[in-house]
Amino acid sequence: EEQLVESGGDLVHPGGSLRLSCVVSGFTLSAYDLSWVRQAPGKGLEWVSTLNGRGDRTFYADPVKGRFTISRDTSKNTLYLQMNSLGAEDTALYYCAKNQGSGSYPFASWGQGTRVTVSS
């Protein structure tokens, strides 16, 4: 059974940093694109970032470009999201999601999310 378990969410001050982790099981990290999707309180889903299966291409939504970095450690079966220069607009529940394949394949599996709150 595939599982994705996020962690690392916390309350952080504006301008601070945080690193989210997503430990996966039941599939090989390098065989699929993996993504982060966030959902601000009471709002819709917003794609944040994707790392391709080969691990050599990263993609970011405009609001996080230059501040967030997606990466992985295949030896630990873990996907990361390093978030810097956080602002109130980054407050959200952050999900990691496994693409069903690469490219246009849908997000077949999701974690339960980890909550990030940016506040002074």
Partner 1 sequence: SYVLSQSPSVSVAPGETARITCGAGNIRTKSVHWYQQKSGQAPVLVIYYDDHRASGIPERFSGSKSGNTATLTIDAVEAGDAADYYCQVWEDTSDHLWVFGGGTKLSVL
Residues that bind partner 1 (CB under 8 A): 35, 37, 44-47, 50, 59-62, 95, 100, 103-108, 110-113
Residue 44 or 56: the one with the smaller Cβ distance to partner 1 is 44
Residue 75 or 104: the one with the smaller Cβ distance to partner 1 is 104
Burial of 92 per CB tally in 10 Å (0-12, 13-18, 19+): buried
State the Cα–Cα distance between residues 90 and 45, nearest whole angstrom: 13
Residue 44 or 75: the one with the smaller Cβ distance to partner 1 is 44
What are the helix (H) ranges across 27-109? none
